[in-house]
Structure 1
Amino acid sequence: MTSKDIRNHRMSDEVYQENFSDIKPPLSCYQANMEASRCLYCHDAPCISACPTGINIPSFIHRIADHNEDGAARVILEENILGGSCARVCPTEVLCEQACVRNHSPECKPVMIGRLQRYAIDHRQKAAHPFTRAQKTGRNVAVVGAGPAGLACAHKLARLGHDITVFDAHSKPGGLNEYGIAAYKLVEDYAQEEIRFIFEIGGINLETGSRIDLEKQLPDLTIQFDAVFLAIGLGSAKAIGLPCEQSRGIQEALGTIETIRQTKNLAELPVAAKVVVIGGGNTAIDVASQMRRLGADEVTIAYRRGLQQMSATHHEQSFAKESGVRIIPWLKPKGFETKAGQLHGVRFVKTTQDSAGQLLETGELRVIPADRVYKAIGQTLTAECFSSGKLARSQNGKIRVDDQFRTSIGNVWAGGDCVDNGEDLTVHAVQHGKLAAEAINRFLQPLEV
């Protein structure tokens, strides 16, 4: 982009700090205890079933009410070792809190489960790890990917006494928690702080900057290690498939989110005046909201279906609008307006859907001016993962696994975004890693002396 197209003015440090401060500020001790007292401690509580990791929510809230924060934290961490980050980034409004019985009349307001979970984790005693490692088994497991699924699997297996080597292509572990979450959701260095806590269990060796080529290296890993867990995420961004898609000013949303998260001085980031984001998920919301908070004049999210079909929750959509983002549904991209390779706008066709839900183009065109476009239409696995023919592929192009997260290779399991099992949420990835670790442990037990 030319200097004319970029807003490179600097806002005050106070504005940047306010715009990127924690959007879910912690509860005070008084607030936490008042909120914990609202819980009815239901028998067969529906919030437990709604939590993908099965945390005993009434149990930990009851401990908060009794001023037993350590006990509350242990209840959470027993089921979700990344309970701190999940408390911050989980869409609790459509999970546990949606199931809360307090949603009904006369209150119609759920217990703030997510914020209570954060309170418990943040107030536990940091002096000692809440879990101890079992006697060493002499078995070793490779975990490929240090995102939430890989970290959850590594911790569970290390706790059971196995030796774990975690490989990750990045310079820092954390996966999307470190590189793909909006900066105001996981502030400061929380992702790394949580990982340091996880590694305190012992028995986990981390090798960063180690990109594993599954086609060439997976066969060797299956020989060198007793078991392998693949938590490789989705490494390739989907293409829209339009001419001029490689023009200057058209970028991938996740790469931009990573840049924002890894930039210490936000004033260094150039920001376009007019931004268009194509997509309807949380990534679209995150990049759009952050662009607006960085100083973009106009930010528009364009989505090809209706607001109800967006994978971003109503809460996320409302947050974007509060940030000054305009969301326009029923728009499908048809082309980019460029001059000398420089982006000037995006051409859309208005859409509708028939009674069967099939998307239809109306033929009515619309151009939205843009200096910068961010594509947030999803990620996919690279075809190279399956080129050897040994890893079976699901119908949706992900790694095929059984109900124990075992792949088509006998001693290889997989979980997280790279498998077709549940939504692509941090909390689901944690559950995948935990359940896969339990399955791997059962697999290794007959081998133990």
Structure 2
Amino acid sequence: MTNSPFTPGIAPGRLQPGAYDANFDDLHAPLDGHEAQVAADRCYFCHDAPCITACPTDIDIPLFIRQIATGTPEAAARTIFEQNILGGMCARVCPTETLCEEACVREAAEGKPVLIGQLQRFATDTVMASGAEHPFTRAAPTGKTVAVVGAGPAGLACAHRLAMHGHDVVIHDARPKGGGLNEYGIAAYKTVNAFAQAEIDWLMEIGGITLETGKALGADVTLDSLTKGFDAVFLGMGLAGVNALRAEGEDKDGVLDAVGFISDLRQASDLAGLPIGRNVVVIGGGMTAVDAAVQSRLLGAEMVTILYRRGPDAMPASQYEQDLAASKGVRIVFNAMPVAVLGNGSVTGVRAEYTRAEGKSLVGTGETFDIPADQVLKAIGQTLEGTPDGLQIEGGKIAVTGPGQTGVAGIWAGGDCASGGEDLTVTAVAEGRDAAEDIHKALS
């Protein structure tokens, strides 16, 4: 095996060809009909179900599980889609272990919740794979047009709900494909078989939605032109900028943005052709850090270390995700932050300093250690790229109140680019849906 022509120590093809398919297979095999019935029978069908309260999209979870239990998964899917049109993707990527399943009374009593996420996938997959007619139809055309910027979860949910109300929607997205982070930013083993694109195709069967790719706000379209050309505008373009590591040497060869790394992996036609280091260090503690670290191992990296500046209880990635990383051989070093990237031109290691909390602040202890590395992946958050004219920015995001109202007439925002979000697919869907209802009210 030869090294990559770009950076020493980084090379493609570290595994036998068949290993890639096995490593990147579906993280959770879908339930079959019998398994779904057994899982559904465990639900108590609580009247004031805490799982509903814990769901950002307010899906009536006991109802859809009862519908599965009575042999009507199509009805269950409609119950889900009425609240969350991207219910299929959310069933795959939503951190149910910290949302609906954590709130499940079975979890409290037995430590083993009802498999809500897998049951949701069973119902939604059943309908989407059936080839049946789209479950929702458009209202009579209103003659109103809405521009949506960003074809990620918020933008897609907003567009679908607006189309249901009879409005015509044009989605503008900077990338070659729609889907946003569902397509470009989620671990490949969570969404196999090009599901993100299949879900978009299915969603757009409602009609009245046009997707225009390669159209970036500020470069190809302007906010001024959209507000003049459409009756309303929804901004859901996510966060395209990358936070700086702020460590000496972060410009060395081999230092990459983790989101870009995952994007390249998701779009690769041959995983064996992706170069990966022998020793990989991932900086960060969220879902992106875990996704990048686990996939580095699955590509053949020998040693992968996640470096997180705080303790386990503060880590944004759930305990389930931390355990998943550990099960794949990823080492997590807590209470340590990078202070320098080592090497002469190319990365040879990361120098880190142990940290401690002083009140609400985090300070270095002065004790440092070195981790060998030929590849460093930054997963330390993203930023709003460019500030849309005339909109108030709060905490680095577009300030909104209520259902996505920006304070500027005719402009709404939601998802990761807007204030108040939780950087979750399911939250972005809820914000896009609720903004659409508010837009519809305003246009009516």
Equivalent in the alignment of 2:119:
116
Once the two structures are overlaid, the 10-residue window that deviates more, 345-354 or 52-61, is 345-354
Contact 1:407–1:413, Cα closer than 8 Å, also in 2: yes
Q: How many angstroms does 1:6 deviate by? A: 2.6
Between the aligned partners of 1:101 and 1:182, the Cα distance in structure 2 is 30
Please say if 1:244 is aligned against 2:249: yes
Q: How many angstroms does 1:422 deviate by? A: 3.2
Q: How many angstroms does 1:385 deviate by? A: 1.3
Matches within 5 A, 1:178-193: 178-193=183-198
Q: 2:92 aligns with which of 88, 103, 122?
A: 88
Please say if 1:99 is aligned against 2:103: yes
Q: How many angstroms does 1:188 deviate by? A: 1.6
Q: 1:370 aligns with which of 369, 373, 395?
A: 373
Equivalent in the alignment of 2:153:
148
Q: Secondary structure at the match of 1:219?
A: helix
Q: Secondary structure at the match of 2:212?
A: strand
Between the aligned partners of 1:59 and 1:214, the Cα distance in structure 2 is 46
Give the total of aligned pairs: 438
Between the aligned partners of 2:106 and 2:15, the Cα distance in structure 1 is 42
In angstroms, what is the RMSD of aligned CA positions? 1.3
Equivalent in the alignment of 2:177:
172
Between the aligned partners of 2:420 and 2:353, the Cα distance in structure 1 is 33
Q: Where in structure 1 do 4 or more consecutive aligned residues deviate above 3 Å?
A: 1-4, 7-10
Equivalent in the alignment of 1:418:
417
Please say if 1:76 is aligned against 2:75: no
Once the two structures are overlaid, the 10-residue window that deviates more, 400-409 or 369-378, is 400-409
Please say if 1:37 is aligned against 2:36: no
Q: How many angstroms does 1:270 deviate by? A: 1.4
Between the aligned partners of 1:289 and 1:76, the Cα distance in structure 2 is 30
Contact 1:7–1:295, Cα closer than 8 Å, also in 2: no
Contact 2:416–2:423, Cα closer than 8 Å, also in 1: yes
Between the aligned partners of 1:424 and 1:289, the Cα distance in structure 2 is 20
One-letter amino acid of the counterpart of residue 71, structure 2: H
- CA offset digits 1:244-273 (Å, max 9, x no partner): 221101010000000000012111111110
Between the aligned partners of 1:183 and 1:306, the Cα distance in structure 2 is 27
Q: 1:303 aligns with which of 296, 300, 308?
A: 308
Between the aligned partners of 2:252 and 2:183, the Cα distance in structure 1 is 28
Structure 1: which 5+ runs fail to align? none
Contact 1:140–1:226, Cα closer than 8 Å, also in 2: yes
One-letter amino acid of the counterpart of residue 70, structure 1: E
Matches within 5 A, 1:123-138: 123-124=126-127, 125-138=130-143
One-letter amino acid of the counterpart of residue 319, structure 2: H
TM-score between both structures, scaled by the size of structure 2: 0.96
Between the aligned partners of 2:92 and 2:220, the Cα distance in structure 1 is 36
Please say if 1:228 is aligned against 2:230: no
Q: Secondary structure at the match of 1:103?
A: helix
One-letter amino acid of the counterpart of residue 403, structure 1: G
Between the aligned partners of 1:308 and 1:7, the Cα distance in structure 2 is 35
Structure 2: which 5+ runs fail to align? none
Equivalent in the alignment of 1:198:
203
One-letter amino acid of the counterpart of residue 117, structure 1: Q
Between the aligned partners of 1:248 and 1:270, the Cα distance in structure 2 is 13
Q: How many angstroms does 1:7 deviate by? A: 4.0
One-letter amino acid of the counterpart of residue 378, structure 1: G
Q: 2:322 aligns with which of 303, 306, 317?
A: 317
Equivalent in the alignment of 2:64:
60
Matches within 5 A, 1:203-222: 203-213=208-218, 217-222=222-227
TM-score between both structures, scaled by the size of structure 1: 0.95
Equivalent in the alignment of 2:435:
436
Between the aligned partners of 1:199 and 1:161, the Cα distance in structure 2 is 13
Between the aligned partners of 2:240 and 2:12, the Cα distance in structure 1 is 31
Between the aligned partners of 1:35 and 1:288, the Cα distance in structure 2 is 31
Once the two structures are overlaid, the 10-residue window that deviates more, 330-339 or 207-216, is 207-216
One-letter amino acid of the counterpart of residue 99, structure 1: A
Contact 1:215–1:385, Cα closer than 8 Å, also in 2: no
